[in-house]
């Protein structure tokens, strides 16, 4: 069937959007396909009629996304990859807490995807008064049916963001996501999805999809660590992470434009780790802007210790890229080269 005539596939993975009140508080509800179909009937007839056709499935065990692991990212990418040729696009309904992590990971696993994977969630359950759930689903469906959208994106509160640039920004507001270092890919105006197509990956896409689906579950032997530096951190504390033989890489969250204390012992711990082939990467603790290692004398040591620049990547993008690269049997130099190369518009 030509792509334009294929339906969308909606995958419900859990999250507040589909939650119901249980004895211990909100918990993922079941029977979501039926509940969503019911809810969509509450839309005005013209809006119902203009929705793209879709099929919907529920993962075997919907979760609160705070429980998600790289293994879940892997399962979701495998599911999309296996159905990819049969659907015009995908809408992933996901908890907001780790939505940006899953979006980032999917972008690396589904490199070169030639259709839309639109992730959304909600701050309130579908059946709650004044819920944002139905509006977010409606917007996501409309964006996912656009053939020019050919990447993993996050649709939330009327905005469309690049998935690998998105971050959860607010714990309560319905406008909960932002894209600190990349402009929006689109927005909804009067229930119409408007794409700013010159910003999309489709303009840079080359050839057929070249999915990379490594086994993240095998990675538990060489995990990645995330370490935010603080004033007063000492070499012994850093070594507790980096000397661990099971740690294959670490994201260091440093200050400002790429600065760390001028402490030779601290730098010695980093240099030892990179010398052992570990992938060390730095990003800034500032939520906006990029780092330039070596602009200040205080940052020069990072380059000398073999720490790579994460440029303006989000922590979610940097960590999921590191996990993606560590899960593949790559020579150290190739892994370092790929980390600093933009693969899916992440930097
Ligand atoms: N704890 C929820 C989750 O991430 C939060 C939400 O979806 N709004 O699954």
| pLDDT score of 220 | 72
Ligand 1 pocket residue status of 29, Cβ below 6 Å = no
Ligand 1 pocket residue status of 170, Cβ below 6 Å = no
Overall CATH class of domain 3-213? alpha beta
The sign one gets for the Cα dihedral 59, 91, 98, 110 is positive
Q: From ligand 1's centre to the CA of 147, what distance in Å?
A: 29
Q: Which residues pair with 138 in a beta bridge?
A: none
| pLDDT score of 205 | 64
Ligand 1 pocket residue status of 301, Cβ below 6 Å = no
CA nearest 300: which of 333, 257, 337? 257
Ligand 1 pocket residue status of 15, Cβ below 6 Å = yes
Ligand 1 pocket residue status of 249, Cβ below 6 Å = no
Residues annotated catalytic, as ranges:
96
Residue 274 phi, psi (nearest 5): -65, -35
> Which atom of ligand 1 lies at the shortest distance from residue 14's CA?
9
Q: From ligand 1's centre to the CA of 206, what distance in Å?
A: 35
Whose tokens are 């711990």? That residue is 269
> Which atom of ligand 1 lies at the shortest distance from residue 28's CA?
9
Q: How far is CA 137 from the centre of its chain?
A: 18
Distances in whole angstroms, Cα of residue 202 to Cα of each of 191, 221, 339, 340, 342: 23, 36, 21, 21, 15
| pLDDT score of 204 | 73
Probe residue for ligand 1, chosen from 18, 64, 68, 122 as the CB with the greatest number of ligand atoms within 8 Å = 64
Ligand 1 pocket residue status of 125, Cβ below 6 Å = no
Model-level pTM? 0.97
Whose tokens are 């603790």? That residue is 285
| pLDDT score of 206 | 63
> Which atom of ligand 1 lies at the shortest distance from residue 124's CA?
8
For 321, residues 6+ apart whose C-beta sits below 8 A from its C-beta are 104, 108, 313, 339, 343, 346
Ligand 1 pocket residue status of 121, Cβ below 6 Å = yes
Please determine, looking at this structure, whether the domain spanning 221-340 carries the CATH number 3.60.21.10. Answer: no
> Which atom of ligand 1 lies at the shortest distance from residue 64's CA?
9
Q: From ligand 1's centre to the CA of 171, what distance in Å?
A: 10
Q: How far, in Å, CA of 165 to CA of 159, rounded?
A: 13
Ligand 1 pocket residue status of 243, Cβ below 6 Å = no
Q: From ligand 1's centre to the CA of 261, what distance in Å?
A: 37
CA nearest 319: which of 193, 227, 212? 227
> Which atom of ligand 1 lies at the shortest distance from residue 99's CA?
4
> Consecutive sets of 10 residues in the chain, 347 residues long: mean pLDDT of each?
91 98 93 96 96 96 96 97 97 98 98 96 97 98 97 98 98 98 98 94 76 91 90 97 96 95 95 98 97 82 95 98 96 97 95
Q: How far, in Å, CA of 90 to CA of 297, rounded?
A: 47
Provide the residue ranges of all domains of the chain, joining segments of one domain with +. Answer: 3-213, 221-340
3-state secondary structure of 4: helix
3-state secondary structure of 137: helix
| pLDDT score of 95 | 98
Q: From ligand 1's centre to the CA of 24, what distance in Å?
A: 15
CA nearest 196: which of 188, 186, 187? 186
For 155, residues 6+ apart whose C-beta sits below 8 A from its C-beta are 118, 119, 120, 136, 139, 140, 143, 161
Are residues 219 and 326 in contact, defined by beta-carbon separation less than 8 angstroms? yes
Q: From ligand 1's centre to the CA of 149, what distance in Å?
A: 26
Task: Tell me if 3-213 shares its fold with 221-340.
Answer: yes
């Amino acid at each position: 069937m030509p792509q334009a005539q294929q339906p969308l596939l909606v995958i419900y993975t859990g999250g507040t959007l589909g939650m119901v009140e249980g004895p211990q508080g909100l918990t993922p509800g079941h029977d979501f396909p039926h509940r969503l179909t019911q809810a969509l009937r509450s839309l005005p007839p013209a809006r119902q009629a203009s929705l793209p056709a879709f099929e919907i499935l529920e993962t075997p065990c919907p979760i609160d996304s705070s429980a998600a692991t790289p293994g879940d990212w892997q399962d979701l990418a495998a599911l999309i990859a296996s159905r990819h040729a049969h659907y015009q696009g995908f809408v992933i309904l996901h908890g907001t807490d780790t939505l940006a992590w899953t979006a980032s990971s999917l972008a690396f696993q589904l490199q070169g995807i030639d259709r839309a994977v639109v992730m959304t969630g909600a701050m309130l359950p579908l059946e709650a008064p004044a819920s944002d759930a139905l509006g977010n689903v409606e917007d996501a469906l409309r964006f996912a049916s656009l053939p020019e959208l050919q990447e993993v994106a996050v649709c939330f509160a009327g905005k469309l963001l690049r998935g690998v640039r998105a971050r959860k920004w607010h714990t309560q507001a319905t406008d909960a996501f932002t894209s600190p270092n990349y402009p929006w890919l689109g927005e909804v105006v009067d229930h119409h999805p408007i794409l700013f197509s010159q910003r999309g990956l489709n303009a840079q896409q080359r050839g057929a999809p070249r999915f990379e689906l490594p086994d993240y579950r095998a990675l538990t032997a060489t995990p990645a660590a995330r370490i935010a530096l603080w004033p007063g951190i000492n070499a012994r504390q850093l070594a507790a992470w980096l000397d661990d033989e099971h740690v294959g890489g670490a994201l260091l969250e440093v200050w400002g434009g790429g600065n760390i204390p001028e402490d030779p012992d601290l730098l010695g711990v980093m240099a030892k780790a990179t010398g052992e082939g570990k992938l060390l990467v730095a990003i800034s603790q500032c939520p906006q802007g990029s780092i330039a290692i070596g602009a200040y004398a205080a940052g020069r040591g990072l380059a000398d210790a073999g720490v790579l620049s994460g440029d303006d990547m989000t922590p979610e993008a940097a960590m999921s890229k590191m996990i993606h690269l560590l899960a593949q049997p790559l020579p150290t130099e190739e892994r370092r080269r790929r980390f600093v190369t933009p693969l899916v518009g992440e930097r």
